[in-house]
Amino acid sequence: MSVLKDRNKVDAIVLDLDGTLLNSNKMISKRNLDSILEIHKLGIPIIIATARPPRAIKEFLPKELQEIAVFVYYNGALIVNQQLQIDEHYSIKSTINEQIIEYLISNEPDHLFSIEVNDTWYSYKEIDYRSFMKVSKNPEIIEIVEIKLKSPTKILVSHLKNIEDFNKKFGDKVNVINTDSNQLTQIMKLGISKESAITNLAERLDISLEKTMVFGDDFNDLGLFKICGIPIAMDNSIDELKSIAKKITTSNDEDGVANILETLCN
């Protein structure tokens, strides 16, 4: 029997949000939701692994899913589940944050950066981020001096021009991931990623990574596809994921998650 149809060969389900579980309207379809709830009834843990902050979950996901899932936010920098009493936060040191900001100001004249600090979003520029980012609200505006003093959960840089030079200077100090067709650079604490968080959870929950099914679509899912034994790429995924996927499902607008999970339920 195929592993994709044998629930006994699946220890956990890991789901990305944007471009995967959520459709292009940033909604989870009833079919996707129902399939996840059915999987959970079988005793299979559900883990949501996203680049987004906690406040986005309250906006996009229904309460019944919020109550059962373990959440990995900010590409692994924050892991939360109330039932399991998990609340782990990994932030970038303020000294490194200051170095990065000073570099951006000096070397990236067209830069646009902001920081996330444990579910609060800050920027020093009054710009409508909603016009070019997948957000519903703009960040809180504070002085650049205040931003430099913070220890961010994640730093976001839009349209970073010289990615190679940035990586040379800071690649040994932070984890850098480029997503959204290289339009968005996401910076986390060194060693922190979705795969580091899932490895952590696998040990805590006694889950086999080899028996973990993961769904994703973008570069920040690449590490997960390499460590999990059952990687499923969305039809709208980047080629780098499709090339190492166990299976390619339909797109995020065609219930790609449900199309796989329903085979396990049946």
pLDDT tens-digit readout, 160-172:
888 899 999 999 9
Between residues 76 and 130, the one the model is more confident about: 76
* pLDDT value of residue 1: 45
pLDDT digits (tens, 9 = 90+) for 109-128: 777 889 999 999 999 988 77
32-36, 38-42, 60-64, 85-89 — which is least confidently predicted? 85-89
Strand 154-158 versus strand 184-189 pairing type: antiparallel
pLDDT bucket at 4, cuts 50 / 70 / 90: low
**What is the rounded distance in angstroms from the CA atom of residue 263 to the CA atom of residue 266?**
5
Enter the tokens of residue 67. Answer: 């109550």
Q: Residues of the chain with pLDDT > 90: what percent?
A: 78
Confidence band for 132, pLDDT divided at 50, 70 and 90: low
Range with the lowest mean pLDDT among 28-37, 66-75, 179-188, 256-265?
179-188
Task: Enter the tokens of residue 96.
Answer: 């490194």
CATH of domain 94-189: 3.30.1240.10
The 10s digit of each residue's pLDDT in 171-222 is 999 999 988 877 889 999 999 999 999 999 999 999 999 999 999 999 999 9
Strand residue runs (E) in the chain: 12-15, 46-49, 70-73, 78-81, 86-89, 112-117, 120-123, 140-141, 154-158, 174-179, 184-189, 212-216, 230-233, 247-248
Q: How far apart are CA 99 and CA 110, in angstroms?
A: 18
Rounded CA separation 193/89 (Å)? 12
Euclidean distance between CA atoms 75 and 266, whole angstroms: 32
| CATH tag for 3-89+192-265 (out of 3.40.50.1000, 3.40.50.1390, 3.20.20.140, 1.10.8.590) | 3.40.50.1000
- 3 pLDDT band, cuts 50/70/90, is low
Q: What is the per-residue DSSP string for 147-210?
A: HHHS--SEEEEES-S-HHHHHHHHTTTEEEEEETTTTEEEEEETT-SHHHHHHHHHHHHT--GG
pTM: predicted TM-score of the whole model, two decimal places: 0.91
Map out the domains of the chain as residue ranges.
Answer: 3-89+192-265, 94-189
The per-residue pLDDT for 8 is 74
* DSSP 8-state code for residue 138: P
